Structure 1
Amino acid sequence: MDSDLRKNVLRANALPDALQDLDINHEDDSDSEEAEAQAQPLTELPFPPLTKQHILNCSYHEWHPKYKAITPKARLIPLTEPFLDYLRADGIILPEDDDDPPVTWSDNDSGVFSSETETDDTDGANDGEADIAAQWRHVHNNIKATIKELGGNVVPKLNWSAPKDATWINAGNSMECRNPGDIYLLLKSSDFITHDLGHAFDDCIDDGPAPQIDYHLALRKTVQLNPSLEFRCFVRNREILGICQRDQNHFEFLFNMQDKLRERIQHFFEKRLKHTFPDPNFAFDVYIPPPHERVWLIDVNPWALRTDPLLFSWLELLTMSGPTPQQTKEPKTVRLQLRTEGKSSADANPPAEEQKDGESSDEEEEIWTPEIRLIGSDDPEAYSFSTQKYSAHKLPKDVVDASTGGEGQLREFAQQWKELLEKQREQAEESEAD
């Protein structure tokens, strides 16, 4: 019995040493695993999980009512399912309005323009008499009334995107629209709008069934914005990490006022967006017109790869150091000591002890300021004259596909195009003979 007791005592005495050795070995293993993890390069950008709710929060119709007072004048028009079907349908058929005849532009004929009033021998019916907008006539009328309300000139936008890639098809090569037909032409010609309609939740995590999207058409009163004064701001953990200009050109005057611009944007964010937007991570666009005292909110974008980081990279934005808790805490209350009767100011406020070298005070604590990036005169972006914006969207998709499919596919496309032109020539000759 004494022998067993002695063995147990020896085991108990040896247990702390064993546990200490175990902890040391465990720490060594943890250090080696951490070093190994740090040594491995990133295989994908470390985005937080992209949720469908975050995408919805960045939809124009979700955030605009809350921030209506700080955005340019705009109106929202709810869209019905028949109108959405019209936007998704192939071909461009503009509804008849007043005395203007309907016009068709079909994707099936590789961009060949034709009139809806032409007869079709296959069905023997004249579709030109049908009202393409019959099922969404009230939407059409709302659009007409809103254009008139906003002064007769508007810029369209769907929930997340504006049809900036389709301005080539609009008169004046701009997004300015004076009638509903201009709006429909832009919306149906835009790849950005197609993405909004069919791929809004791409790259989102599987956190349940996709919610119903309430699609809205936003019509903004046309105002002349100076592109040099538009900026994109990137927010992570409810702090602005970076600010950069949106227009990819050099503007020398911005460098002399960048501190003022940063201060204006930071104050605007702290007062208007920091504690009111539902997500901690997002990007937002602002406009600061002369005299550069007021900031206007233009757009809110998801914290996701689909948002253009412009002069930053997403790797930078996801990995750069943010402000410390001390740099983001609220400013301390300042105590003012009133001078009492019979005492001098020196008596009322005794001198502070002389600060020694190396000591720091709260007043001297470094204040966090987000980085602001502008395009310099020697930056390559300032001289990209040969590159047009959205140039990849200015050709029919079948042409782009053929150009990337090698010489054989391009030759096949050229042959099909030749046959199509020959067929049209024959039809024209038959029409003249009749």
Structure 2
Amino acid sequence: MSEADSGPASVSPDPLTPPHTALHWTSYGTWYPIFRKHAPKSTVIDIPSTQPELLDWLDSGTFVLPDGSGPSTITATTSATISSVSSHSSFSDSDEEEPEQALSLPKLDAAIRDVISKYSGPVFPKLNYSAPLDAGFMLPGNSLQCYHPEDVYLLLKSSEFVGRDLEQLSHLFRTSSQQAPTPQLVLKKWFSLNKSYEFRCFVRSNSLIAISQRDVTFYEHLQSSQLQQQISDKIEEFWEDELVEEERWGLRDYIFDVYLTKDLGRVWLIDVNAWLPRTDPLLFAWEDLDELHLREKAGRSQKSLTQDEPEDGVVRLNLHPSPADFAPQVNRPQLRILHDRRMQSSGGTGATYSSNMVPKDLVEFAKTRGDDTTAIPGGTDMSVDQIVKRWNDKVDLEDKSAQQEDV
């Protein structure tokens, strides 16, 4: 029998918070004002009231960056490739179409520049729920630091995570009887994080049941059981003192990310996520979290039974203690650290989000002319459809040549 099955057979999971409610409370513009003093400095910009054209641009098929949003911090090669590819419609094979006119977003440009000036340095962008972590390869150094509006736009446009946010917000607007969150651009003041001190925490039915290492990398110093206990204690203390005691907070099921300073003297609230499949459970599986919830609930039920006040004049003695009476408290969160170097993710952000990358040989191929011998400086003057057609023709030709050699 597993540890999770040791509770009463009658224990059943508590109902989860409805998705619409969970998404309302975990929208950055909702939770940040409540926990502002514990989170990095951020500015929330309402997109529909500032520059609604951004939403249409993000949903469009163009990659032409908004006019006037520079100066550029992307490399010359990347800039030329993006501009030349996106200046053609991906639905047309014509080489004679006029270059696509770039959109201008002056109000949003000004708002972003004001925030960068206020923070005296780069910012880290995200929408209501997701950051463009999968698009970091679009900027130099695989970084998410944005110094100009165009950096922000490039990351948002290149990110599948951001696209998922927009689809979700659109769905909420169509289906929710409650007021759905409006699309918001969040700009956080950039500061470097020691990834080994980032953790994801899981709260189910107002109980902190699990903590996972946020960056799935093996760290030697995290193998210390003493340090692990200190980390767990510090996070649990922060949760009890700040999140549980916050009367304005209206969720029972949620997942929050924290960052601990190296001396464990400060806990920063980095993000709050809905208890939904869209949130990555990291070193846990959802089944693990369900079992921990049942075990924690069974422990609370057992504790409630054993702590019933006796009748006046009656003293209850436990003459036959069970092993469970000596077990650790079940309401302590389970901390998981990566203990095997072989299990860590490899290659950093670029490998983690490789579905958003373009194969290197295809990029190099796109930079050559029709004879495949002369490289085009800075990129290509073909549309995406033309690149794909040339690539397929090249593969077919190679296959035919191989077949002839076999004969």
The TM-score normalised by the length of structure 1 is 0.65
| 2:114 counterpart of 1:145 | yes
For the Cα contact (< 8 Å) 1:47–1:304, is it kept in 2?
Answer: no
CA pair 393-241 structure 1, distance change in 2 beyond 3 A:
same
Gap runs ≥5 in structure 1:
1-37, 39-44, 104-109, 333-352, 400-411, 422-434
For the Cα contact (< 8 Å) 1:157–1:218, is it kept in 2?
Answer: yes
Tell me how far 1:328 sits from its aligned partner. Answer: 8.2
Equivalent runs, 1:122-133 vs 2, <5 Å: 122=97, 128=101, 132-133=103-104
In structure 2, C-alpha distance between the alignment counterparts of 1:149 and 1:314, rounded to whole Å? 41
Match of 1:287 among 234, 256, 259: 259
- Equivalence for 1:313: 285
CA pair 113-58 structure 1, distance change in 2 beyond 3 A:
same
Q: What residue identity is the alignment partner of 2:230?
A: K
- Equivalence for 1:429: none
- Equivalence for 1:380: 342
Tell me how far 1:255 sits from its aligned partner. Answer: 3.0
Equivalent runs, 1:10-409 vs 2, <5 Å: 48=16, 50-80=18-48, 81-97=52-68, 113-114=84-85, 121-122=96-97, 128=101, 132-133=103-104, 136-200=105-169, 208-209=176-177, 211-256=179-224, 257-276=227-246, 277-320=249-292, 321-323=295-297, 324-325=299-300, 358=320, 367=329, 368-376=331-339, 378=340, 380-382=342-344, 384=346, 388-395=351-358
Tell me how far 1:61 sits from its aligned partner. Answer: 0.9
| 2:385 counterpart of 1:416 | no
In structure 2, C-alpha distance between the alignment counterparts of 1:312 and 1:252, rounded to whole Å? 20
From the CA coordinates, give the structure whose radius of gyration is larger. 1
For the Cα contact (< 8 Å) 1:52–1:201, is it kept in 2?
Answer: no
In structure 2, C-alpha distance between the alignment counterparts of 1:273 and 1:201, rounded to whole Å? 29
In structure 1, C-alpha distance between the alignment counterparts of 2:345 and 2:47, rounded to whole Å? 41
Q: Deviations over 1:274-316 (max 9, x none)?
A: 2533111111100001210211100111101111111110011
For the Cα contact (< 8 Å) 1:375–1:382, is it kept in 2?
Answer: yes
Tell me how far 1:379 sits from its aligned partner. Answer: 5.1
CA pair 175-98 structure 1, distance change in 2 beyond 3 A:
closer
For the Cα contact (< 8 Å) 1:46–1:318, is it kept in 2?
Answer: no
Paired residue total: 322
In structure 2, C-alpha distance between the alignment counterparts of 1:238 and 1:214, rounded to whole Å? 27
Q: Deviations over 1:381-432 (max 9, x none)?
A: 2374599110111139xx9xxxxxxxxxxxx9987134899xxxxxxxxxxx
For the Cα contact (< 8 Å) 2:201–2:257, is it kept in 1?
Answer: yes
Tell me how far 1:319 sits from its aligned partner. Answer: 2.6
- Equivalence for 1:432: none
- Equivalence for 2:366: none
- Local SS of the residue matching 2:265: coil
- Equivalence for 1:32: none
- Local SS of the residue matching 2:141: coil
Report % sequence identity.
30
In structure 2, C-alpha distance between the alignment counterparts of 1:382 and 1:418, rounded to whole Å? 35
For the Cα contact (< 8 Å) 1:47–1:318, is it kept in 2?
Answer: no
For the Cα contact (< 8 Å) 1:162–1:193, is it kept in 2?
Answer: yes
Gap runs ≥5 in structure 2:
1-8, 75-80, 89-93, 308-314, 363-384, 395-407
Q: Deviations over 1:37-86 (max 9, x none)?
A: x9xxxxxx998364212112111111001100000111111112222112
Tell me how far 1:173 sits from its aligned partner. Answer: 0.9
Instruction: Identify the structure with bigger relative contact order (alpha carbons < 8 Å, sequence gap 6+).
Output: 2
Question: RMSD of the alignment, in Å?
Answer: 3.9
Tell me how far 1:209 sits from its aligned partner. Answer: 4.6
In structure 2, C-alpha distance between the alignment counterparts of 1:297 and 1:328, rounded to whole Å? 31
The TM-score normalised by the length of structure 2 is 0.69
In structure 2, C-alpha distance between the alignment counterparts of 1:219 and 1:164, rounded to whole Å? 14
In structure 2, C-alpha distance between the alignment counterparts of 1:373 and 1:181, rounded to whole Å? 39
Tell me how far 1:87 sits from its aligned partner. Answer: 1.7
Tell me how far 1:145 sits from its aligned partner. Answer: 0.9
In structure 2, C-alpha distance between the alignment counterparts of 1:172 and 1:415, rounded to whole Å? 28
Tell me how far 1:251 sits from its aligned partner. Answer: 1.4
- Equivalence for 2:381: none
- Local SS of the residue matching 2:151: helix
In structure 2, C-alpha distance between the alignment counterparts of 1:297 and 1:156, rounded to whole Å? 16
For the Cα contact (< 8 Å) 1:78–1:214, is it kept in 2?
Answer: yes
For the Cα contact (< 8 Å) 1:92–1:188, is it kept in 2?
Answer: yes
Q: Deviations over 1:334-391 (max 9, x none)?
A: xxxxxxxxxxxxxxxxxxx9x997579xx98954311101011x35323745991101
In structure 2, C-alpha distance between the alignment counterparts of 1:99 and 1:371, rounded to whole Å? 47
